[in-house]
Amino acid sequence: MQVYLDYASTTPLIPEVRDAMIEVMNEVHGNPSSIHSFGRKAKTLVEEARKQIAESLNCSLSELFFTAGATESNNMILRSAVTDLNVTRIISSKIEHHCILHTLEDIQKSNPQLEIIYLKVNQAGQISAEALKELLSTSDKKTLVSIMHANNEIGTMIDMDAIAELCSLHGALFHSDIAQSFGKYHFDVQKTAVHFLSASAHKLYGPKGTGFVYIQSDNQITPLLFGGSQERNMRAGTENVAGICGFAKATTVAYNQLEERHNKTESLRNYFESEVLKRIPGAVINGTRTEGYLYNVASISFPQHEHGELMVFNLDISGIAISSGSACSSGVEKDSHVLQAIGHDPKRKTIRFSFSHLNTKEEIDYTLEKLESICK
């Protein structure tokens, strides 16, 4: 049996998306920048896609730009906040994705005066809104707060409305990486005072290499990539027309099936977690279930295990695809920066299982059975 439990890493294309993309690839080859009919047809598709995604965020069409994914969008926002928006302080968190953390490290090199503060998280993986409030109220520096909506490793989520309100109150800009939550939760930028959002299509059954950045219209920034005048001069390079159409289709389907996907996935995840706790003594669930938590992720820490990495290998041999919470550095296994931030015991092995409405109970039972025998 083959069981894919790595949906937080990436998702397969759903048939609706695949069909939409194939149709575009077969029938529309024009360059959206060309003024002839072939180009106009491609341009119409891109604009139609923009409309569909903008509707899901309740933003205007002029605030949404297609990119190659959340990595590019995050780079764009962080860099331009400093160069174009006079930001002299960035507040982020220790559990952001590397495309935030490594970008910040790089920005710091060429901007040594820039103050970068990383909010700590508690053992449950939550940032403290109080700590953020304290920071925001004790400095006049122009500040960008960049905090992810949902964490990709341990699934913890912030209260986006509360953070947005705090930022508004103190005149700070607010950026959130919604790569893990877009297509799973409702967003309304008219209700949530967020200035920037980043997402990738491949996390919601769309194609890889396509994403968006939302830039609230009061914030004029310069592009990351220069060249042609695509995306109203904000992102040069010929548009990935099929990818963009696939992204729009994935978004529409995701929002049409929002509740259905949520309920099915969450119940599979909850069943899996409760069975793991019953069958594997000493197993611990990371993150929290009392505050915000992504419904498709289970980050589980297993009792001290001599050959932790063998667990991942043995699951793979059994046909089960999961993600390890550690990385091998110079031959030594090290906890990821997220696990380190929650004070995880590195002697324990943590595995991220991430689920989908496409999973079945049989797959979960098979995984539990294999996991139980590996842990014996």
The catalytic residue positions are 328
Q: Which is nearer to ligand PLP, 206 or 308 (CB)?
A: 206
Q: Is 213 in the site for ligand PLP (CB under 6 A)?
A: no
Q: Which of 43, 79, 89, 97 binds ligand PLP (CB under 6 A)?
A: 97
297-302: strand order across its sheet: 284-285, 297-302, 349-354, 323-324
Residues 68-87 binding ligand PLP (CB under 6 A) are 69-71
Tell me which residue of 269, 291, 278, 274 sits closest to 352, measured CA to CA.
Answer: 269
Q: Is 363 in the site for ligand PLP (CB under 6 A)?
A: no
Place of tokens 């978004």: 251
Site string for ligand PLP, 137-176 (x = CB under 6 A): -----------x---x------------------------
Cβ proximity of 63 and 196 under 8 Å: no
Q: Where does this chain touch ligand PLP (CB under 6 A) — which range of 27-35, 64-72, 166-174, 237-245? A: 64-72
Q: Which is nearer to ligand PLP, 71 or 192 (CB)?
A: 71
To ligand PLP, the closest distance from the beta carbon of 78 in angstroms equals: 12
Q: Which is nearer to ligand PLP, 56 or 210 (CB)?
A: 210
Q: Which of 180, 265, 296, 350 binds ligand PLP (CB under 6 A)?
A: 180
Determine the 3-state secondary structure of 190 from DSSP.
Answer: coil
Q: At a CB cut-off of 8 Å and minimum separation 6, what does 275 contact?
A: 364, 368
Would you give the distance in Å from CA 174 to the centre of its chain?
16
To ligand PLP, the closest distance from the beta carbon of 180 in angstroms equals: 5
To ligand PLP, the closest distance from the beta carbon of 99 in angstroms equals: 5
Q: Which of 11, 200, 286, 324 binds ligand PLP (CB under 6 A)?
A: 200
To ligand PLP, the closest distance from the beta carbon of 11 in angstroms equals: 11
Q: Where does this chain touch ligand PLP (CB under 6 A) — which range of 65-73, 220-228, 300-308, 320-328? A: 65-73
Burial of 303-328, coded b for 16+ CB within 10 Å and e otherwise, reads eeeeebeebbebbeebebbbbbbbee
Tell me which residue of 255, 149, 249 sits closest to 201, measured CA to CA.
Answer: 249
Q: Which is nearer to ligand PLP, 152 or 301 (CB)?
A: 152
Tell me which residue of 208, 221, 91 sits closest to 158, measured CA to CA.
Answer: 91
Q: Is 241 in the site for ligand PLP (CB under 6 A)?
A: no
Site string for ligand PLP, 2-31 (x = CB under 6 A): ------------------------------
To ligand PLP, the closest distance from the beta carbon of 158 in angstroms equals: 12
Cβ proximity of 172 and 145 under 8 Å: yes
Separation CA 163–CA 176 (nearest Å): 10
Separation CA 45–CA 328 (nearest Å): 44
Q: Which of 160, 179, 248, 250 binds ligand PLP (CB under 6 A)?
A: 179
Q: At a CB cut-off of 8 Å and minimum separation 6, what does 374 contact?
A: 311, 314, 315
Q: Which is nearer to ligand PLP, 207 or 308 (CB)?
A: 207
To ligand PLP, the closest distance from the beta carbon of 34 in angstroms equals: 28
Burial of 213-222, coded b for 16+ CB within 10 Å and e otherwise, reads bbbbeeeebe
Tell me which residue of 279, 180, 241, 307 sits closest to 39, measured CA to CA.
Answer: 241
Q: Is 299 in the site for ligand PLP (CB under 6 A)?
A: no
Q: Which is nearer to ligand PLP, 283 or 341 (CB)?
A: 341
Determine the 3-state secondary structure of 45 from DSSP.
Answer: helix
Q: Which residues pair with 144 in a beta bridge?
A: 90, 173
Separation CA 92–CA 116 (nearest Å): 8
Number of residues that bind ligand PLP (CB under 6 A): 12
Q: Which residues here bind ligand PLP, judged by CB under 6 A?
A: 69-71, 97, 99, 148, 152, 177, 179-180, 200, 202
